[in-house]
Amino acid sequence: MTEWWRGGVIYQVYPRSFCDSDNDGVGDLPGVLSRMDYLAQLGVDGVWLSPFFESPMRDFGYDISDYRKVDPIFGTLADFDNVLEGAHARGLKLVIDQVYSHTSDQHEWFKESRRSRDNPKSDWYVWADARPDGGPPNNWISLFGGQAWSWDSRRKQYYMHNFLSEQPDLNFHNAEVRAEILDAARFWLERGVDGFRLDVANFYYCDPQLRDNPPKSPDGGFARPYWHQRHLHDRSQPENLEFMGELRRVVDSYGELMTVAEIGSDSYIDRSIEYTEPGRLHTAYNFLLLENGPLTTGLIRNALESWTSETSWPSWSFSNHDVVRARTRWGGEAAGDEFANLLMGILMCLRGTIFLYQGDELGLPQADVPFERLQDPEGIRFWPDSLGRDGCRTPIPWAKGEPNAGFSTVEPWLPVDPLHHDYAVDAQESDPASTLALTRKFIAFRKAHPALRLGTSRFLDAPEPILAFERGETEGDGPLLCLFNLGDKEVEYQLPCPVEKLDYGLPGTVEGNKAVLPPWGGLVLAI
């Protein structure tokens, strides 16, 4: 079986902000299709398409009201089929988001469930009676703030929601719910998708006894109430792993596809490994490199060395639609293009499947979105100490100097940061030293060297700020020595053996038996 995803590079498209074909200020599926050549020219193996399903858009598509319909703001089902065909015609795989943990409160399932306690779907969501004092059944907290329970006056019960109150959690203990979700998966598999990215994959089940979560250490200095608890009962339940096996068997029945889990957990790596052991999902990524910092050799080394399983496969990403872009998160507002290039150079040398978030190939910094233009309910609630989801979701700049950087002539749903004009695609296309050009080079280099896609990984002891690791020999390639300078001053590294410098694209030289790395420089060496 050809495991195209193993060691591959998958590009995340956030449709609302990728390309607006009908000039209404919101990106859409025809827009994605119109830029398919751009994605193919990057050299990526596949595309992950964030939600485009029918939705009230309270959480911008992660609150689905119909799993089998395309929201009109993005186009039609025929438009999706055209995107799928366009990707396949260019040799690209297409992976789509699936949000199974919860639905919109506008989904017909929930509308029926909330009507009474004895209707056919009464047990399709997590409902519970109030405590004797009228309060919610336990102490669970929503990630988006407040209690994870909302009162429904029709049923005179509380319903659970890990996120917005408009995103009620499905009851996966109900076999009918599981069957319906698997049928929804089959709908897209039969259309020919190449796999699924599973949103909050460890949130499907909760403790049926609804026991309180215990507190963490009270002196933790946590910024949000959610982080004050040890989430033992509202996520990552044992039954969740059994459902991963059920879903895997359905996906495998359609051929050489892939499943990747998004894992939200305090146990970043252990939980990811648990979900990707044989018979479960193909791979998983977590937030260890998406939320933590600063960027140090220890951060990268700890992440990769913590993946100790020999039977499961990791995935890594430095940015996505939920976190501050890596250039700004790790480099600060003053980070230059050299820093953005370094990040891309490191990412493309890591062992695992790589997820590249739209705009990172341009080196985009986090956009500045004024409070009055914020759209994200989480960002508004926790402003100014939010994850910055609006600032990483602003439209892609296609044309420097054009209205809204070529995204649309009308005002887009989120404003284009004026500073992003300088990073526009057309401004970088003609510059061989641009982040876009280097990203294409890094991806091509990774494809040309199986050691980077499939080889083992072994970190070498080196003084900060030098990140040094070997990628193990594979058939016909390697081994390779990867060296990166995470600092703003030139450093030297004593080479352990004779090497041959390869043309990777970052600044760095070999002088005798030492490597010389300028600030934010890097080398990939054949050993």
Q: Is the peptide bond preceding residue 418 cis, with omega within 30 degrees of 0?
A: no
Q: Indicate if 169 belongs to the active site.
A: no
Collect contacts of 451-458 with beta carbons under 8 A, ≥24 apart. 451/477, 451/478, 451/479, 451/480, 452/7, 452/348, 452/349, 452/480, 453/6, 453/7, 453/8, 454/6, 454/7, 455/351, 455/479, 455/480, 456/351, 457/304, 457/350, 457/351
C-alpha 417/C-alpha 151 separation (Å) is 40
SS3 144: coil
SS3 285: strand
Which residue in the list 262, 360, 361, 417 is annotated as catalytic?
262
C-alpha 412/C-alpha 408 separation (Å) is 7
* Residue among 522, 519, 473 at smallest CA distance from 502: 522
Q: Indicate if 262 belongs to the active site.
A: yes
Q: What is the maximal distance between C-alpha atoms in the chain?
A: 79
C-alpha 471/C-alpha 453 separation (Å) is 9
Residue with tokens 């044989």: 278
Q: How far is CA 380 from CA 17, 144, 189, 322, 387, in A?
A: 19, 10, 36, 14, 10
* Residue among 241, 263, 239, 259 at smallest CA distance from 250: 259
Which residue in the list 199, 322, 361, 376 is annotated as catalytic?
199
C-alpha 236/C-alpha 234 separation (Å) is 7
The three-point CA angle 390-440-499 to 5° equals: 120
C-alpha 332/C-alpha 365 separation (Å) is 9
> Which residues are catalytic, by number?
199, 262
